[in-house]
Structure 1
């Protein structure tokens, strides 16, 4: 009886993890974290020398004020990403460069590189954050439930993916468990994204969700503050594009009440396109 209850509890725990999106196992075997706790407890406490004996210390036990100087030097991965992106002279060449780029572990955990979909000649480019599970399996962006919602939303103002817009993501690889991309991951792939915009030559951008909006607008504000307004996205020193920030369709699925705001954004997009 006890063994059966244990199995039921384990199955329930696994179902819960799947519901939360933890569908990738990143370790070959479970980690016994009790061992780490015992080792930490047994380790001798580190003895901090008096301030006068430490470099930069002050007499009387007063600590010298810390001066944090953030490093602005690009990482080797970001440098290589920028170089590969700059060499790409076409969208197929950019896709090949992204497939070659191996500085991110996301490449190893994803099934497919998800590049783009739609029509580049449309002049309207939509940018999301990262592929989900369906996108990872099929190798196309926005084909899951949130993508289907987005297609219906754009269809309500007369836009069709087959002829009226082009769509991609900041990240070409799915983060494990559909988690939100980290700032480091976004920064690593941003050179590819900027080059993607240059090569696709859109006249207007729509930024879907906070990750895309904050990355391309270089802003720390959240999407609820950025949405509903037209901004300028700087692509290079002499090039910028008008961009509308709006809510990601995945957010709308979790928060149906926000669809009213998204509808207002769609009407703004419709008016903007009609005026061009």
Structure 2
């Protein structure tokens, strides 16, 4: 059997992205303005029905629609179906779970629900029942946490990937395997650390979470850190550090510099380092990540 070429692997990766985004067919190359289309349909529904309605077979098919034969229709008749949204747009919500537009009320509701959780189990239940984040509509599972809730060291990434979405645990793919080796190098494993993500649902196609999605999920990860109450917090990548510390520096400038993270009654030591996924793409940077982990081991020994 011939080996797959680089072009074939790129096509497979693109198809996987489309599948994760909810695309199941391809029609045309022109983007569809769904807001304008919805407004036109609403205007048509508001108009009175004509005395001599146009037969279905004579009705024109709108541009960028596909005609799919329906069971029970006469030959030659078809009903137009909307084309899929272009790649990069949120996947359509499944029936019974309408998408929501993020606003201040939803963020306030997330903050209220997160604050009401008195334990990690209650916080997980709150996330499972929370419908204010549209990422939940496309993700297979909630990726809450892994490791020891009583650990002194907590590691926080940005968002789950494909493998994490399937297994429901953070950092279980290739980047997670590298993270395990990095922890083992300083004498730790998953039984002695606690791992979570700033966003607990996988974005479609592994895209970057939007600022609105991150802001909606922020009260939950903030409460999660408070309930774990670690001595040391490690941000894996700049995204989680920017979300929870409010800093704007890039990871190259930020990494290795110790900061403080405020808890309920005290502060935890905090540091940012390279995300394992970045280290897989840039292996030369592992030497700097190794320095960061040596510093983490030293801080744990001193605290």
Q: How would you bin the TM-score normalised by the shorter chain?
A: 0.7 to 0.9
Counterpart in 1 of 2:196?
168
Counterpart in 1 of 2:166?
137
Secondary structure in 1 aligned to 2:269? strand
Residues 11 and 118 of structure 1, relative CA distance in 2, 3 Å threshold? closer
After TM superposition, give the deviation of residue 240 of structure 1 in Å.
Answer: 2.8
Report 1:69-108 matches (<5 A): 75-108=104-137
Q: Distance in 2 between matches of 1:179 and 1:16?
A: 13
Contact 2:273-2:292 at 8 Å conserved across structures? yes
Q: Distance in 2 between matches of 1:113 and 1:35?
A: 32
Residues 12 and 242 of structure 1, relative CA distance in 2, 3 Å threshold? closer
Contact 2:151-2:228 at 8 Å conserved across structures? no
CA deviations over 1:130-168 (Å, ceiling 9, x no partner): 111111001111111100100001100101112x11110
Contact 2:21-2:205 at 8 Å conserved across structures? no
1:120 aligned to which of 140, 149, 155: 149
Structure 2: which 5+ runs fail to align? 1-6, 37-102
TM-score (norm 2): 0.70
Q: Distance in 2 between matches of 1:12 and 1:200?
A: 41
Relative to its length, the structure with more helix (as a share) is: 1
After TM superposition, give the deviation of residue 23 of structure 1 in Å.
Answer: 4.3
Please state if 1:32 is matched with 2:59: no
After TM superposition, give the deviation of residue 12 of structure 1 in Å.
Answer: 7.7
Give the root-mean-square deviation of aligned CA atoms. 2.4
Counterpart in 2 of 1:242?
269
Counterpart in 2 of 1:266?
293
Counterpart in 2 of 1:111?
140
Q: Distance in 2 between matches of 1:35 and 1:213?
A: 36
Counterpart in 1 of 2:90?
none
Q: Distance in 2 between matches of 1:83 and 1:214?
A: 22
After TM superposition, give the deviation of residue 212 of structure 1 in Å.
Answer: 0.7
TM-score (norm 1): 0.77
After TM superposition, give the deviation of residue 120 of structure 1 in Å.
Answer: 1.6
Residues 192 and 34 of structure 1, relative CA distance in 2, 3 Å threshold? closer
Structure 1: which 5+ runs fail to align? 1-9, 41-73
Q: Distance in 2 between matches of 1:31 and 1:176?
A: 20
Counterpart in 2 of 1:3?
none
Contact 1:194-1:235 at 8 Å conserved across structures? no
